[in-house]
Amino acid sequence: MLELRNVSHVYGNGTRALDDVTLSVPTGMFGLLGPNGAGKSTLMRTVATLQTPTSGSITFGDIDVIAEPERLRETLGYLPQDFGVYPRVSAYDMLDHMAVLKGIASAADRKATVETLLNQVNLWNVRKKAIAGFSGGMRQRFGIAQALIGNPRLIIVDEPTAGLDPEERNRFLNLLAEIGENVVVILSTHIVEDVADLCPRMAVLAGGKIRLEGAPLELIEQARGTVWAKAIARDELTDVRERYELISTRLFAGRTIVHILSEVDPGNGFEPVRGGLEDVYFATLARTRRPVDTAALAA
């Protein structure tokens, strides 16, 4: 279990990227969802011991992450957002080199590790090819292979599916799901479907704060009665935007379907909908934009 308590981070320019984050992350896939600038990468880098928070504490099992970063690193696999290592070296040689860096000194152990990982991420057939020539999906799978060296118990993947086509994305997420059965995997993303497809637990981070946390299905259930839909003509959109808290718009058969957030029946032709995780997410972001968070006060 990874536990963050009251973690805050203020950058040198005064940006408060994390604001009193308290979060428990159990074994399995955990989705950290938030818009750009929410603080996700700051949180991921902090847990990965690449930066020290301004205040707060982080533990992983019996490891005090801030006081004993080297102990955490021994059991950490990290795929950063900008994993920029795409050299003209073969996948095999690069992974072997990274295994040396991770401390696997025996050549026989390294061979076994590298071969197992290349098979696991489905890159065995291209192991002799330069990573520089890999597609985006292959690079991300290589990124996961290097993160898995040394059997980490904590795996952090930061925005891994951005830019992947649907097939590559599927493949990558399936791979993560297999890995996530026995270890803690934190998947940081701004893509709602990544979390909906994979994660039994999740949190929404926005403006450096945890705004929502729980199991996606329960969060969807809790949102019942607060999301309302209506088909409108496109020129009505401005009016809807002004009068209601708009959480999404979607075109369907040439009509515009709007979803709004309202704790009471808005009338005016709106029907209640059983929202999906996307509604839950956008409703949460809409609530954070309110001048006073009335929903949180009522809860």
Residues of this chain, 33-92, that bind ligand ADP according to CB under 6 A: 34, 36-42
Give the DSSP letter string of the chain: -EEEEEEEEE-TTS-EEEEEEEEEE-SEEEEEE--TTSSHHHHHHHHTTSS--SEEEEEETTEETTT-HHHHHHTEEEE-TT-----SSBHHHHHHHHHHHTT---HHHHHHHHHHHHHHTT-GGGTTSBGGG--HHHHHHHHHHHHHTT--SEEEEESTTTT--HHHHHHHHHHHHHHTTTSEEEEEES-HHHHHHH-SEEEEEETTEEEEEE-HHHHHHHTTTSEEEEEE-GGGHHHHHHHSEEEEEEEETTEEEEEEE-SS---TT-EE----HHHHHHHHHHHHHSSS-HHHHH-
Q: Shortest distance, CB of residue 26 to ligand ADP, whole angstroms? A: 22
Nearest to 277 by CA among 206, 214, 186: 214
Q: Shortest distance, CB of residue 58 to ligand ADP, whole angstroms? A: 16
Q: Shortest distance, CB of residue 192 to ligand ADP, whole angstroms? A: 14
Out of 13, 101, 254, 297, which residue is the one contacting ligand ADP (CB under 6 A)?
13
Out of 1, 6, 15, 135, which residue is the one contacting ligand ADP (CB under 6 A)?
15
Query: Which CB atom, from 11 or from 112, has the smaller least distance to ligand ADP?
Result: 11
Which among 22-30, 32-40, 148-156, 278-286 is the span making contact with ligand ADP, rule CB under 6 A? 32-40
Query: Which CB atom, from 188 or from 226, has the smaller least distance to ligand ADP?
Result: 188
Nearest to 18 by CA among 1, 34, 2: 34
Beta pairing partners, 90? 130
Which among 31-39, 115-123, 162-170, 272-280 is the span making contact with ligand ADP, rule CB under 6 A? 31-39
Q: Shortest distance, CB of residue 160 to ligand ADP, whole angstroms? A: 13
Which among 29-37, 57-65, 103-111, 274-282 is the span making contact with ligand ADP, rule CB under 6 A? 29-37
Side-chain-side CA neighbours of 27 within 13 Å: the count stands at: 8
Q: Which pair of structure tokens corresponds to residue 200? A: 């039994």
Q: Shortest distance, CB of residue 186 to ligand ADP, whole angstroms? A: 13
Beta pairing partners, 255? 252
Query: Which CB atom, from 14 or from 103, has the smaller least distance to ligand ADP?
Result: 14
Q: Shortest distance, CB of residue 245 to ligand ADP, whole angstroms? A: 23
Q: Shortest distance, CB of residue 188 to ligand ADP, whole angstroms? A: 7
Query: Which CB atom, from 41 or from 284, has the smaller least distance to ligand ADP?
Result: 41
Out of 6, 11, 133, 265, which residue is the one contacting ligand ADP (CB under 6 A)?
11
Q: Shortest distance, CB of residue 143 to ligand ADP, whole angstroms? A: 17
Q: Is 221 in the site for ligand ADP (CB under 6 A)?
A: no
Query: Which CB atom, from 50 or from 183, has the smaller least distance to ligand ADP?
Result: 50
Q: Which residues are at the interface with ligand ADP (CB under 6 A)?
A: 11, 13, 15, 17, 34, 36-42
